[in-house]
Amino acid sequence: MLAQFLDGELEHARSEDLERHLEVCRSCCSRAEFERVLKTQLAGVGRRNVEPAFVERIRQLIGELPGRPSKDPPAR
Amino acid sequence: MHEPTSEVERAWFAAEVEPLLPELYGAALRLARNETDAEDLVAEAVARAWTHLGTLDRRAAFRGWLFRILTNCFLSERRAGIARVSSEPYGDESEEGGFSIFDRLHQPILLWWGNPEREFLNKLLREDLERAVDALPDPFRVAVVLADLQGLSYKETAEALAVPVGTVRSRLARGRSLLQRALWAHALDVGLRSERKEEKPDV
């Protein structure tokens, strides 16, 4: 339940209950803080600087893509 | 047939894609696990997104939609492997009883004058996290990349993977558990931590 709370996926009422608990339970509060910081560090891994040459490759690709977007669903 | 809206669409598309490149490349690197394949994966996703732009319901949903396509590009190359792998057991991780670094480190008696779990996080390097993510089996890695690295909601992640939200929840739980186990093993390897005698057995 803590994971869903930190992910912002817990329904409002349960989220409020958990927040109230975290205010009074030092152990759970410490655990939540640990998981929150680790989650933030992981989010940092999700971004990587891109080389200008790669940006240029994508610009060129978009410029050269043919035609108008179709209405077909993406292939899965 | 060429319509004038096409170039307006193209300019809009380029303006949407370019700011997302660091995130797309960041996700692709963790999925493909090497730079060349990651760049090709992003390029393939961009091309496929343009081709199917007409299927995007709401332009505000562009980011999640593009990550869904990126994921599909990756999975379509690995689909056979995924299908085989997803039914295999991975250690003893379960949704309820996963591995927790916090449980290894937390010492209530030190509450007022020490914080070993914070020290552990402070010593974690970006490359430690990257290595741990890369070591995850595909089904868990993809879920962690989408939800944790890219901040997609459970619903967006479920749509990207074409699985129910409950499956996303359980894959995330197992993926995060495996991730923490890998980080902990690495910390032991490089001497950041040592196992204490009073620690819980590795169950």
- pLDDT tens-digit readout, A26-74: 889 989 999 999 999 999 999 999 999 999 999 999 999 987 655 554 4
Is-contact B9 A54, C-beta < 8 A? no
**DSSP code, position B200:** P
Element (H, E) at B58: none
Find all residues with CB under 8 Å of A67, minimum gap 6, and list them. B2, B6
Q: Do both B101 and B194 map to the same domain?
A: yes
Between CA B97 and CA A23 the distance in angstroms is 24
Element (H, E) at B132: helix B126-134
- pLDDT tens-digit readout, B11-57: 999 999 999 999 999 999 999 999 999 999 999 999 999 999 988 88
Q: Do both B81 and B67 map to the same domain?
A: yes
Q: Name the residue range of residue B136's domain.
A: 91-203
Q: Name the residue range of residue A55's domain.
A: 2-64
- pLDDT tens-digit readout, B67-85: 999 999 999 877 655 544 4
SS3 content of chain A, % helix, strand, coil (to 5): 65, 0, 35
Residue A73 burial by Cβ neighbours in a 10 Å radius (0-12, 13-18, 19+): exposed
Classify residue A52: in a domain, yes or no. yes
Q: How many domains does chain A have?
A: 1
Q: Contact A46/B26, CB-based, under 8 Å?
A: yes
ipTM (interface pTM): 0.85
Residue B22 has its nearest CB partner, among A30, A50, A69, at: A50
Whichever domain contains B19, its CATH number is 1.10.1740.10
Q: Do both B116 and B186 map to the same domain?
A: yes
Q: Contact B55/A75, CB-based, under 8 Å?
A: no
Distances (CA, A) of B108 to A24, B103, B113, B115, B180: 15, 11, 10, 9, 21
pTM of the model: 0.84
Find all residues with CB under 8 Å of A76, minimum gap 6, and list them. B72, B76, B162
Q: Answer whether B89 touches A (CB < 8 Å).
A: no
At residue B155 the predicted structure's pLDDT band, cuts being 50, 70 and 90, is: very high
